[in-house]
Structure 1
Amino acid sequence: MRSELDKAWLAAIFLLVTPCTVLADASGTPGFDVLFSSAWGHGVDSKIQYQMPNRDSIQVVDLANSAMPHALKVTISRDENYENVANGVPRAEISFGEYIKFHRNEEYFVRWQTYIPGNYKFDKKQPEVIMQIHQGAQIHWGYPTFALFFSTDTGYGVRSRTGQSTDSVGKIFGSPEADRGRVVDWTLRYIPDDTGENAVTELLKDGGVVFQTRGVPNAYPGDDAAYLKFGLYKAGWKTKPTDVDIRTMYFGRVSILRRNSSNLNR
């Protein structure tokens, strides 16, 4: 028999991956509070921060696609000046850093969509991050706590990290090239815990689990201020060999949910 935890997890996943708009309503997923939900039809919430070189690097656009009527169009160019962008490296991202924090030992679901244009050329010489959970601003070193990226061997890459290299866990899976011209639905179940005792990191792509760790530390020590970022980030674009000079892709509906305090028994 399945445990109560597994039953609750499966029920929540069914609601999260069902292709409908239940997440627009805070009552759509029993036991969870909706911290944020947007399909971008009304623009970008003023609490969200931009990290980008130009005003038009991130734009809300209308798409002739029933699965993604509106989207954030994100564009970066290798020739741009990134000196005034975070860390001074190539990126165009939206950040929830001043809005929503991931607290240790609380359970979160993040749901989002990506659309890779049909003519997208993948870089075989260096990766590019398309989503990350970044450690809190008080931690001034280290890689993101969680990152989803295009790898250099034509796969998706995922990496979960803490401040200790021994906690780093990663995987290459799937084919972004095969996903060109179609909307992809992602769901991340995340329970951050720097001790690993309650830690869960589970990523689903179009309803199927593609990455899963449990009992492995997945937060920086003492960090209750990690936050979500979406967009394009190529740290070595200016300094290392590359196959490409410009990047454009699209991000659709985004939702962030947290298990409410009356349903914390996992």
Structure 2
Amino acid sequence: MDTASLFDLNGKVAIITGGAKGIGKGCSQMLAAHGASVVIADFDLDAAEETAELIRQSGGKAKAMACNVLEDGDLTGLVDATLTEFGQINILVNNVGGGGAGRENPATLTVEQFAHTFQLNVFSNWRLAQLCAPHMETAGYGSIVNMSSMSSINKSPAISAYASSKAAINHMTANLAFDYGPAGIRVNAVGPGAVRTDALASVLTPEIESTMLEHTPIKRLGEPEDIAGAVLYFASPISKWVSGQVLFVNGGGVQTLD
């Protein structure tokens, strides 16, 4: 067995949406460290450039792209620019996402806000997979990694839009695995628990953290590299017979805001 090749991404090209900060930044750095050329697509171009420069300083290959995943022209432009820069697409990490976790009071949440969460978390993922899949098939190697969440299976108040959108990601992942499998493309998802990012920091209090850790066997919150490691597994040849799966990365427990 050639174990050295199992996590080798040399010659592979990866697109990471929301790749400039937090979990996305961790994924960008992780895949680049294992040899992939990475395209960091983010709404914040300056932050994407900073992450790309860090990767280049470490000897990796990276390109920053401004991208609003709610704009179809940005998605098609992202794919075209990746092909122009690197000639192929092998890996797609649909990391971008958002919602009012813990702040989605159904008495005040509007239909437009609910729909926006699905457009951001689900529709953009589906569309980018549709755009990338033909190029993955041509390249002879394809792995799509969607970003789910523990909220997709947890039950908590004031999170109905975000949680249901992430549950949709789980089922969409399983079904797309059937659609794209014959083309040699694997489709999986990673479901983070509570990870120390700017987004979590905006709602985290010492009391909430203490409650989270009461139900977490590994007594700490997650770090971006914990999630990036799971993404690396799905992106790499070691998982070549794994598709349609959701891997929850949560310290063995459940972390909720209530």
TM-score under structure 1 length normalisation: 0.31
Q: Which has the higher contact order (CA 8 A, sep 6+)?
A: 1
* Structure showing the higher helix proportion among its residues: 2
